[in-house]
């Protein structure tokens, strides 16, 4: 099979490429140049491209660089900035997967005559007897990345290989060592790439301040309505936040339970005030056929969060037991057992 491997310069995608080469496939590597900003840290940096190219050379395969910076700005960076302006908390990595890694990259691969693409994600694609495909959790529960792939469709799964989905991380690194790959001990990147590479300031606040106006906000106690303090930028506050909200001297832990952007107020309360019995969800994507209303599912609202029993409703999902509030803009993935069946964006 002729396969184009998305090589980020990390150990996981390096091993994915090596496994496919060792299995006898015709493999070509490609690294996506996504962020055109200043700096050389975060994914798709100059150093990462160099690592990917050297691994490809070591494996004896061709390596290319695809410049998708325009599309990345339009589909990931600009919506990220706009979401913060509106008081939401976006998930740029999932939107990058949705629009770049499994859309633009797959489209480029198909136009170049490749039969499939492969990535270094810890999840599994399983062909079913009816000709459809299932997306399931990876073998290693600590590294499972099915959540960040929960927006994939049947057409994308049909052309996707996940070679390390059956492996644990320790086995991946061991394979890289046995193959002499330079990325075998390379640490993982945990930061948003365009924030990590932003060298003019110190992280998200500096990045956003150059693109939108940030406004001070008043911190208000939920029950009493008493002012507790102020925050320098209400657009940077997220649901559940405890630090940096000016309540250190209140005598008890306070958590952000709501953000009223129009009034420029941050509402704080006890941990119990964060509990909700469901989420309103929009922008649903189904891995296969849409589920019927009332269907019982497990919902997961972060990459390594706990899966909670819930039921689908016309507005979103109702939880079987109250759980912590999730910020608008975040993604909820729905599972049947270990199988991903749907995902959506939390509206409130």
Q: Which residues of 250-259 are buried (b: 16+ CB within 10 A; e: fewer)?
A: eeeebbbbbb
Are 199 and 39 in contact, with CB atoms under 8 Å apart?
Answer: yes
Instruction: List the one residue out of 274, 281, 345 whose CA is nearest residue 313.
Output: 281
Choosing from 43, 44, 96, 334, which is the catalytic residue? Answer: 96
- Asked if 111 and 118 count as a contact pair (C-beta separation under 8 A), the reply is no
Q: Single out the catalytic residue among 43, 44, 93, 193.
A: 193
- Terminal CA-to-CA distance of the chain, rounded, Å? 45
List, in order, residues 6 or more apart from 257 with CB less than 8 Å away: 222, 239, 267, 268, 269, 273, 274, 325
- Residue 96 falls in the annotated catalytic set: yes
Nearest residue to 159 (alpha-carbon basis) of 108, 87, 193, 210: 108
Q: Is 44 a catalytic residue?
A: no
The residues that are catalytic are 96, 193
């Amino acid at each position: 099979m002729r396969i184009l491997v998305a090589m980020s310069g990390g150990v996981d995608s390096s091993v994915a490429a090596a496994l496919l080469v060792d299995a006898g496939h015709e493999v070509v590597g490609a690294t996506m140049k996504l962020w055109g900003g200043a700096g050389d840290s975060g994914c798709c940096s100059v150093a990462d491209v160099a690592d990917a190219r050297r691994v490809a050379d070591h494996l004896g395969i061709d390596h290319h660089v695809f410049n998708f910076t325009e599309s990345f700005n339009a589909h990931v960076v600009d919506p990220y900035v706009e979401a913060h302006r509106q008081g939401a908390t976006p998930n740029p990595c999932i939107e990058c997967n949705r629009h770049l890694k499994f859309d633009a990259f797959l489209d480029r691969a198909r136009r170049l005559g490749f039969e499939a693409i492969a990535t270094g994600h810890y999840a599994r694609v399983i062909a079913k007897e009816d000709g459809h495909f299932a997306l399931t959790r990876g073998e290693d529960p600590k590294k499972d990345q099915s959540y960040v792939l929960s927006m994939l469709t049947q057409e994308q799964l049909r052309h996707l290989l996940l070679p390390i989905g059956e492996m644990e991380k320790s086995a991946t690194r061991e394979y890289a060592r046995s193959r002499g790959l330079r990325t075998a001990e390379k640490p993982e990147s945990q930061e948003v790439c365009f924030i990590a590479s932003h060298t003019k300031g110190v992280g998200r606040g500096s990045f956003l301040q150059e693109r939108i106006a940030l406004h001070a906000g008043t911190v208000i106690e939920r029950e009493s309505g008493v002012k507790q303090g102020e925050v320098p930028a209400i657009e940077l506050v997220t649901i559940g936040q405890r630090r940096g909200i000016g309540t250190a001297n209140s005598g008890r832990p306070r958590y952000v339970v709501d953000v009223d952007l129009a009034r420029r107020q941050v509402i704080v309360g006890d941990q119990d005030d964060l509990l909700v019995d469901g989420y309103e969800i929009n922008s649903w994507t189904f891995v296969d056929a849409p589920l019927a209303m009332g269907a019982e599912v497990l919902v997961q609202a972060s990459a390594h969060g706990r899966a909670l029993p819930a039921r689908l409703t016309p507005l979103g999902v109702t939880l079987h037991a109250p759980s912590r509030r999730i910020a608008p803009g975040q993604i909820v993935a729905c599972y049947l057992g270990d199988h991903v069946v749907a995902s959506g964006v939390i509206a409130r």
